[in-house]
């Protein structure tokens, strides 16, 4: 995990390593509330600041529009300048979990001249396979 932070130009402090590991181990995007519950020894402001550092260095994606606040997931990009692993996410309206569909890439969108895209988010909503059973 330390190597991944260094790859993105982030100093690997103990708290940052714990936060990155929690995001990695979750295998799905997490809210601040979920991270706080997972990392009881780190206060909310330290988690928030670390996530901002991670976002600025393209180590995490911030997913909005799930209706439950921003969710964060570890980015598997190998660049601190761009996100090269953008993929589709699925929000289950029954269990309220968000899933990464890593093999489904966000379609390329052409924007008019003068616009500069900084990030992209593609969220599908429905019922996950587990809830459909």
What is the model's pTM?
Answer: 0.74
| CB burial string 105-124: b at 16+ within 10 A, e below | eeeeeeeeeeeeeeeeebee
CATH class of 2-132: mainly alpha
Q: Where are the domains of the chain?
A: 2-132
Q: Which helix (H) or strand (E) holds 71?
A: strand 71-74
> How does pLDDT run across 92-113, given as a tens digit for each residue?
899 888 888 878 888 888 899 9
Q: What is the pLDDT of residues 34-46, one digit of tens each?
A: 999 999 999 999 9
CA 97, CA 83: separation in Å to the nearest integer? 23
């Amino acid at each position: 995990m330390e190597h991944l932070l260094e790859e993105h130009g982030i100093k690997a402090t103990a708290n940052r390593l714990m936060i990155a590991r929690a995001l990695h181990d979750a295998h799905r995007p997490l809210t601040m509330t979920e991270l706080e519950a997972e990392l009881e020894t780190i206060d909310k402001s330290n988690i928030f600041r670390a996530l901002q550092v991670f976002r600025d260095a393209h180590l995490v994606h911030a997913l909005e529009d799930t209706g439950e606040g921003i969710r964060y997931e570890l980015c598997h990009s190998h660049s601190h300048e761009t996100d090269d692993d953008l993929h589709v996410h699925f929000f289950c309206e029954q269990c309220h979990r968000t899933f990464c569909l890593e093999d489904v890439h966000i379609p390329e969108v052409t924007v008019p001249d003068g616009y500069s895209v900084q990030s992209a988010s593609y969220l599908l909503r429905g019922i996950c396979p587990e809830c459909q059973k």
